[in-house]
Amino acid sequence: MQIKQKMPVIAKLLHEAKRVLFITGAGISADSGLPTYRGIGGLYESKDTESGIPIEIALSGITMRNNPDLCWKYIAQIEAAGRNATFNDGHALLAQFERLLPKAWLLTQNVDGFHQAAGSKNLIEIHGNLRWIHCTMCHDRIPFEPTGEITCTPRCVHCSGVMRPEVVLFGEALPTTAIDTLQQEYTKGFDCVISIGTSSQFPYIAGPVFESAHRGLTTVEINPEETPVSAVVDFRLAMPATQALQHLMECYLHLRA
């Protein structure tokens, strides 16, 4: 089935659904000018960083504790890549779907905060949000709004402790609140799960797709690249996120007219 033929079918299934889960990765923010971290146009597409270590080590909880300067070097690169960016039409369309559908939730592994800025309310930021930092000693919490290049590790103005972003670094546990919310909502059931712009490398990102496919529920993947879930979804749309969501919204609104 061609993509143009798939769109009305997916829109009809969305129209009939009572509960929908959208899952997003870096691909949804690509149209905002943010690079993905791996894959086509990835910020860390090569195996190792310029420091000669994998990005998964540089951006790990162990490195933040033992060598915060190294960890902040790469946090600064991610922050700089998105400093002047904002949410795009893809984020806005997902917020619109939330308003139109009976019940929709959004699970994102992104830390850019764009979904919240676009108006999504039923939002699970499973990896946290880069827009806040807190002190690792006194736990003072402040907005993270640098206006220039980050050249050194931010320090707490109260105790000089190392500041860190409120994001999940590699090797760290996921936030309990986010996990509990995801489990509660997934227990209630979803008629349709749509994965958008994620490499689906993490089990908690790919898991809902695999489980829904196993249960015979509607599954959709929007991604120019193939991923571990590509072979199991009912509908695969090999195209950029915003473009696919625009076509899907047009078909959906036509059904509601």
> Which of these is catalytic: 115, 127, 247, 254?
127
- Reply yes or no on whether 158 is catalytic: no
Q: Is 177 helix (H, G, I), strand (E, B) or coil?
A: helix
How many CA within 13 A on the CB side of residue 170?
Answer: 12
Quick one: CA dihedral 242, 245, 250, 253, positive or negative? negative
Cα distance between residue 55 and residue 37, in whole Å: 9
Q: Which of 161, 156, 165, 196 is nearest to 77 (CA)?
A: 165
Buried b / exposed e along 15-46 (16+ C-beta atoms within 10 A): eebebbbbbbbbbbbbbbebbbbbbeeebbee
Cα distance between residue 58 and residue 11, in whole Å: 42
Residues designated catalytic: 127
